[in-house]
Amino acid sequence: MSLPDLSLARVFYDRAREVYLETRPSIDVTPDQLLAIASDVSTQLELVRLVRELNDPEFRQLLILFLEDAADKLEEAAGNADDAADLLDRAGLAPAVTVTTGAIALTLATGGAAVPVVVVFLGAGGMIALGFGRTTLKSKSRREKSGAKKLLSLAAKLKGV
């Protein structure tokens, strides 16, 4: 188990402050870095401590609005991933199951003719690919939804400063 990287909160805080004071053009933060800060209590507390020490309500407001905006974006991305998973179900999995079931029936009816057997394998391969894609998308959606909650929770902690 690795220790939380407290410097991540410090780096985010410093960059945010520099952009706010117009000494830096952009914050250059990735969703993963934000989530790393929001996912750990120690880094959350570190950021809250830094903001409390500064005691600048406008800067605090900036961080809150930014975190809420980032949470919105993650929620939206999670929704897109869910839609894509549904598309795989409707446009991919349903036809693949139909073709494979038909091929299995034909294999049984013909006593194991070569073509239906090959089609069964093709259908199974397609279903494996679709299943993999669906799992990837659903797990991405879950990660993003949980990330959005964590960001909102961090925003709520900053509101309480």
Partner 1 sequence: MGLDSHRVELLLALFGVANAVWSVVLTHITTRKAKADMRQIAETLTASFSQIAAELVRNRKPSSGRRIT
Binding site for partner 1 (CB under 8 A): 16, 19-20, 22, 25-31, 34, 58, 61-62, 65-66, 69-70, 73-74, 77, 80-81, 84-85, 87-88, 91-92, 95-96, 99, 102-103, 106, 113, 115-116, 118-119, 122-123, 125-127, 129-130, 132-133, 136-137, 140
Cβ of residue 75: shortest distance to partner 1, in angstroms? Answer: 11
Q: 1 or 116, CB closer to partner 1?
A: 116
Q: 5 or 68, CB closer to partner 1?
A: 68
Q: 45 or 119, CB closer to partner 1?
A: 119
| Dihedral sign computed on CA atoms, order 66, 9, 156, 53 | negative
Cβ of residue 155: shortest distance to partner 1, in angstroms? Answer: 13
Cβ of residue 1: shortest distance to partner 1, in angstroms? Answer: 26
Q: Which long-range contacts (CB under 8 A, 24 or more apart) does 57-66 make?
A: 59/16, 59/17, 59/20, 60/158, 60/161, 62/16, 62/20, 63/16, 63/155, 63/158, 64/155, 64/158, 64/159, 66/16
Cβ of residue 110: shortest distance to partner 1, in angstroms? Answer: 8
- With 0-12 CB in 10 A as exposed, 13-18 as middle and 19+ as buried, what is 70? buried
